[in-house]
Structure 1
Amino acid sequence: MLSVNLRHSVRAIILGEDDRILLCRFAIPEPAGTVVWAAPGGGIEQDETPLAALRRELREEVGLAVRTDPPHVWRQEVVAPGHAAGYDGVVNDYFLVRTVGFNPRGALSDDELAAENISGLEWWHLQEVANYDGPDLFSPRDLATPLTALITSGVPPRPVLLGL
């Protein structure tokens, strides 16, 4: 059996009281000009639990302190060489974080964020995501569908498996 080297990451579906979602704008260098809007988060470091990684990433990227254990709502597995540098793909575990709206500003400097390809943070209404027809991508590509289910039906009994 062929083994694949997947990058394990955590991401937060951060929903404000008006159900807007906070997304990071990732300007991906290859292919040139690719912009992907994705939930904040990142890789789990060695000897770090997923929730510890989530808390660290949210503090660094958006300046949000998470004191409770948020529910695990989605899981995304993408096996595609080149999707994550140095890996055969990625596993993203998504956790739901509900909060009051805030002005996102994490501990990382603009240069440090740029080194992680993050070029912006923005709150999006579900309809803006669903109706978007510009050149940028979302991760997952069909973000509006699982986000609609999450907002209307609440936390699923087990994490929903997402596609690319």
Structure 2
Amino acid sequence: MSSVNLRHSVRGVILDEGDRILLCRFAIPGPTGTVVVWAAPGGGIERGETPLATLARRGRAGRRCGPARCVWHQQVVAPGHAAGYDGVVNDYFLVRTASFPPRGAMSDDELAAENIDGFRWWRLRDIADYHGSELFSPRDLATPLTALIAEGVPATPVPLGL
């Protein structure tokens, strides 16, 4: 039996004082066209790095991470989620912050190399009511986000689907 090669990553559930979540817009080219996915900022954990160090290093939102707790866990075994891997493992950490203009610490070229072409603060209602062609990651982001805002940090990370 062969082993599955998964990319371990962390993502920041960055919520401002109005409970808006900061998401990155990924425009991913594919054989049938570009797929757009809105996802929490973050990235892959490098050898010897802690998840919080990764979150700080990958701070695409342009902010340093303060105290953070892991609130969600996602494992996706499917091609196309991380080049050279069979899928991903994402641990999501809650970061509360005052609202700020998102830009990220990465250059335009670095962002483009990662297929990122924008940032946006989203209200929960706008995510829940969205019916366009762009996707969220996880697809049902509104459900765990609703619980997180209403109930606070869970005792153990909530498992997420695709």
Query: So what's the TM-score if we normalise by structure 1?
Result: 0.95
What percent of counterpart residues are identical? 71
The aligned amino acid for 1:57 is R
The aligned amino acid for 2:20 is R
- Report deviation, 1:33: 1.5
- Report deviation, 1:67: 3.2
Distance 1:120 1:86 in 2: 25
Distance 2:66 2:87 in 1: 30
For residue 120 of structure 1, the aligned residue among 118, 121, 141 is: 118
CA offset digits 1:98-152 (Å, max 9, x no partner): 0010011222111111111100000000000000000000000000000000000
**Alignment of 1:34 onto 2:32:** no
- Report deviation, 1:81: 2.3
| Aligned residue pairs, count | 161
- Report deviation, 1:2: 2.9
Q: Structure 2: give runs of 5+ residues left out of the alignment.
A: none
Distance 1:62 1:153 in 2: 25
Partner of 2:19: 19
Alpha-carbon RMSD: 0.9
Inter-CA distance 114–17: structure 2 relative to 1 (3 Å threshold): same
Structure 1 residue ranges, 4+ long, deviating more than 3 angstroms after superposition? none
**Alignment of 1:97 onto 2:95:** yes
Query: So what's the TM-score if we normalise by structure 2?
Result: 0.96
Partner of 2:154: 156
Distance 1:2 1:153 in 2: 40
